[in-house]
Amino acid sequence: MKLFFLNLFIVFLGQGCAQNTKQSEEINTAFPDSLKIKKTDAEWRKILPQEVFDVTRKAGTECAGTDKFKNNKEKGIYHCYCCDLELFSSEHKFNSGTGWPSYFQVYDKRNIHIEIDSSIGMIREEVSCSRCDAHLGHVFNDGPEPTGLRYCINSVALKFKKKDS
């Protein structure tokens, strides 16, 4: 009986991953190599604060609950900290209760790249910046309508630019 439930769980998990993978295929569009920003770790280390470097260049994660944008209610666009590419709109931000900024939609599908991440023994989809390859966070299929997605993003990977009135 335990084996039956284990197999059922594996099938369920596989279906969730398949749904996410389909989303990845829809989102991943080529960002021209001629517009990509490529730097060595040494170059990034010189221009980024340590915590930003650890998260964006080494796929780290900031501590839950340290979201620097938690109380930000202003209208604007969240940009990549490393290269200033537009990533998320404040109009698509929601409180997921996870301790990280969450968005149900990206600003422009061409500006992010999604790939499978199995680094901690579970299958997730990693979100990165298409222009500079900065690690941003992960996307899950448990978000609100209309997309059903939750982009769980490290706040240190973002800069906020207020919308002009």
Q: What are phi and psi of 24, to 5 degrees?
A: -60, -45
Integer Cα distance of 55 and 61 in angstroms: 6
| DSSP codes joined into one string, 32-52 | PGGG-----HHHHHHHS-HHH
The total number of residues written for the chain in this structure:
165
- Told to judge if 80 belongs to the known catalytic residues of this protein, a careful annotator would answer no
How large is the greatest C-alpha to C-alpha distance in the chain, in angstroms? 62
Cα–Cα distances (Å) from 106 to 21, 49, 82, 90, in that order, read 16, 25, 17, 10
- Residue of 124, 131, 135 lying closest to 30 (CA atoms): 131
Q: Which of 82, 129, 132, 152 is catalytic?
A: 152
Coil, helix or strand for 131?
A: coil
Point out the residues that are catalytic: 152
